[in-house]
Amino acid sequence: MFPGPLGASLAGRALERGLWSLDVRDIRAVATDRHRTVDDTPSGGGLGMVLKADVLAAAIDAAAPADDLRPRLLMSPRGAPLDQARVRALAAGPGALVVCGRFEGVDQRVIDGRGLEEVSIGDYVLSGGELAAMVVLDAAVRLLPGVMGKEASGEDESFSHGLLEYPHYTRPAVWEGRAVPDVLVSGDHARIARWRREQAEALTQARRPDLWRKLKGED
């Protein structure tokens, strides 16, 4: 499944240039039985299977020694929601070890014993953590120095300052009777900046009142 989308576009070109690296590990490689078993039935009964603590811990230990300073993330729908602040912290850090959950979940003992930080990309359930891991990696990689064409291009994006991004327009000046707002072709950079801020605030209030309340310190 990897590099998948991470091998294309900005992340792919940056990977080719050595601006970041990807080391994919198959946890079956450290399983000790002849069937390379990585899961077992849940203690206490129930449906599905659970990733085994001993096998997953061995895979983590093989990928990162005890003194490795990288954060250890477990992609999980019950984790803390991923936000731009966390992405920026990851991009500024030493990298990350990302564990992709599967089946019903992961034995809690390895989460506790290896200090895994559970991270969620949304309130829904995927077949596995691989797609979620790609989201985390893509979001962080694009912020690395040299990856984006212009370093400032990530400054005004949604969530960068607690707001959703303002609307964008380009040529033609009129399309299907809809014109580019006059302010954007006025050449008045102060007015343009003010308009963009007002639009961002209005969109955030309408679409993400939770973000607006947080920005205003009401939460």
Give per-residue pLDDT as tens, 68-126: 999 999 999 999 999 999 999 999 999 999 999 989 999 999 999 999 999 999 999 99
What is the reported pLDDT for 177? 97
In a domain, 149, yes or no: no
The pTM score is 0.89
Residues 83 and 170 in one domain: no
Residue at 151 is within a domain: no
Pair 131, 161 in one domain: no
Is 184 part of any domain? Answer: yes
Host domain of residue 175: 156-215
Domain boundary among 109, 141, 173: 141
- Shared-domain flag, residues 163 and 73: no
For residue 40, list its beta bridge partners: 50
Count up the domains in the chain and report the number: 2
Residues 119 and 46 in one domain: yes
Residue identified by tokens 């850090």 is 93
Asked whether residue 60 falls in the same domain as residue 89, the answer is yes
For residues 156 and 165, give the distance between their C-alpha atoms in angstroms, rounded to a whole number. 7
- The enclosing domain of 22 has a CATH number of 3.40.1280.10
Residue 191 banded pLDDT, cuts 50, 70, 90: very high
Kindly report the backbone phi and psi dihedral angles of residue 172, in degrees, each rounded to the nearest multiple of 5, phi listed first: -75, 160
Phi, psi of 178, rounded to the nearest 5 degrees: -105, 125
Residues 168 and 128 reside in one and the same domain: no
- What local confidence, expressed as pLDDT, does residue 155 receive? 65
Whether residues 161 and 134 share a domain: the answer is no
